Amino acid sequence: MFAIFAGLAAGLLHVFSGPDHLAAVAPLVLSEQSTNGVRRFRVKGLASGLQWGVGHTAGVLLIATLLLFLKEQLPLDSISMYGERVVGLSLIAIGIWGVWRANRAAITPHSHAGASFAMGTVHGLAGSSHLFGVLPALAFSTRIDSLFYLGGFGIGAIAGMSAFAAGMGLLSKRISRHSQRRYSGLLYGSSAAALVIGGFWLVGR
């Protein structure tokens, strides 16, 4: 039980302590504007967060498997370094795309679950995922405890990002009801954050 709860706490902390995680998903959720009510919009935002969490867990589990069985044969440091560069480029691409969407006069409903899954997977393969997700799992004395920790970490990451995405979807829907300009400003702001954080990941790490 300790391993599961430790993994849950680490997964939640990992999601909300990483501005790159939130910056990757926010523009995707905000651009999913729908005219069919708050509930549908919130569910679509939840789907993007859920897909990110599942992709992130898949990336972390892949790194954990490589560490457990092939750590002496594979250049994991190089994999992580190049993974961080891919994260940076992806964030910049999302930021540019978000600005383009905000410039459009009408934003049509569109799902970005596939993009969220891909971003989550890349994040799972790069950076601090190793610190929070993989290294503590290797410290447990039994393999079953390590698996419980990884499972808890994945559940925490999925739950945290799903909650964030659903909240962003509900907030943006309410804002768009009162002012399209404020809604566009929110999308501009989240896209700018993705551009800045992506640039940091690309050249500053």
3-state SS track over 61-129: HHHHHHHHHHCCCCCHHHHHHHHHHHHHHHHHHHHHHHHHHHHCCCCCCCCCHHHHHHHHHHHHHCCCH
Say if CB 91 and CB 20 are below 8 A apart. Answer: yes
Tens-digit pLDDT profile for residues 83-125? 677 778 888 888 887 887 777 644 555 555 577 888 888 877 7
User: Model-level pTM greater than 0.75?
Assistant: no
For the record, the structure tokens of 163 come out as 């909650």
Least confident span in 10-19, 28-37, 114-123, 127-136: 28-37
For the record, the structure tokens of 137 come out as 């799992």
Task: For residue 181, count other CB atoms closer than 10 A to its CB.
Answer: 10
Q: Is 107 left (phi over 0), alpha (psi -120 to 50) or beta?
A: beta
Least confident span in 36-40, 106-110, 159-163: 36-40
Task: Tell me which residue has tokens 């896209």.
Answer: 191
Residue 59: per-residue pLDDT: 84
Tell me the residue range of the domain where 187 lies.
2-203
Range picked from 32-41, 72-81, 90-99, 165-174 for highest mean pLDDT: 90-99
Task: For residue 11, count other CB atoms closer than 10 A to its CB.
Answer: 29
Residue 40: per-residue pLDDT: 45
Give the pLDDT mean for 151-164.
88
* Dihedral sign computed on CA atoms, order 164, 115, 38, 195: positive
CA angle at 119 for the pair 57 and 26, rounded to the nearest 5°? 110
Is pLDDT above 70 for 9? yes
Task: Count Cβ atoms within 10 A of the Cβ of residue 145 and give its class: 0-12 exposed, 13-18 middle, 19 or more buried.
Answer: middle
Query: For the CA atoms of the chain, what is the radius of gyration?
Result: 18
Q: Residue 66: which residues within 8 A CB-CB, separation 6 or more?
A: 74, 76
Tally of domains within the chain: 1
Q: In the structure, what pLDDT confidence band is assigned to residue 22 with cuts at 50, 70 and 90?
A: confident
Q: In the structure, what pLDDT confidence band is assigned to residue 130 with cuts at 50, 70 and 90?
A: low
Three-state secondary-structure class, residue 34 = coil
